[in-house]
């Protein structure tokens, strides 16, 4: 059975995703929302890039890429890097961090060494080992949901999730790659 691509796109639009700008030396960069943590030991991430992306070739050639995890106020930057073209960096503020293009005022930053690449339909999936990281916890992340930008709204009345799952080995800090244990009423 085949799924209509438009239906698939609509269903996937209901999944809130982080918004990142993935970069490589050159400079090359593209807005990417198909990004996730993969492993804590060693720290690894995965992301998917379109087969026609110049960034894909640059990352494969250099075996390195950066992940700028955008903050809530950086929607214009995300839109700029979502389009095709070679002049995306013109007129933007950026600097290099260990040879990789990095933007100021992001919610987070990861410098990665490319470890492997797998085919994934009209994309390739890149696996990277994180060799550098920086966070800015005061900046809420930019998210993408149902074709609009937004952000995460904390629910402090629920308390830290680690307090809600004391039986989770290693706590929720060890969560990448594992499902939240048991069925839980999130209080909504």
Distance of CA 84 to the CA centre of its chain: 19
- Report the pLDDT value the prediction gives residue 13, as an integer from 0 to 100: 85
Q: What is the CATH number of domain 5-153?
A: 2.30.110.10
- Report the pLDDT value the prediction gives residue 155, as an integer from 0 to 100: 75
pLDDT digits (tens, 9 = 90+) for 47-89: 999 999 999 999 999 999 999 999 999 999 999 999 988 789 9
- Report the pLDDT value the prediction gives residue 34, as an integer from 0 to 100: 94
Q: Is the pLDDT of residue 119 over 50?
A: yes
pLDDT (mean) for 24-48: 96
- Report the pLDDT value the prediction gives residue 180, as an integer from 0 to 100: 40
What is this structure's pTM? 0.82
pLDDT digits (tens, 9 = 90+) for 151-179: 887 777 776 766 666 655 454 455 454 44
Cα separations in angstroms, 96 against 27, 30, 33, 147: 9, 16, 22, 30
**Joined tokens for residue 23:** 């970069």
Q: Is the pLDDT of residue 138 over 80?
A: yes
* Domain range annotation of the chain: 5-153, 156-188
């Amino acid at each position: 059975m085949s799924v209509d691509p438009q239906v698939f796109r609509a269903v996937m639009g209901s999944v809130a995703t982080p918004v990142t700008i993935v970069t490589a030396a050159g400079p090359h960069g593209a807005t990417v929302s198909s990004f996730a943590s993969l492993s804590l030991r060693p720290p690894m991430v995965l992301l998917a890039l379109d087969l026609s992306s110049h960034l894909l070739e640059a990352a494969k050639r250099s075996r390195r890429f950066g992940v700028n995890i955008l903050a809530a106020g950086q929607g214009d930057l995300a839109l700029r890097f979502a389009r095709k073209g070679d002049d995306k960096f013109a007129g933007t503020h950026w600097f290099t961090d260990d040879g990789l293009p990095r933007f100021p005022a992001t919610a987070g930053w990861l410098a990665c060494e490319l470890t492997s690449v797998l085919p994934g339909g009209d994309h390739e999936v890149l696996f990277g080992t994180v060799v550098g990281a920086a966070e800015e916890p005061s900046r809420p992340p930019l998210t993408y949901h149902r074709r609009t930008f937004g952000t995460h709204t904390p629910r402090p009345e629920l308390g830290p999730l680690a307090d809600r799952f004391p039986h989770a080995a290693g706590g929720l800090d060890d969560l990448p790659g594992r499902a939240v244990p048991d069925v839980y009423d999130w209080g909504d």
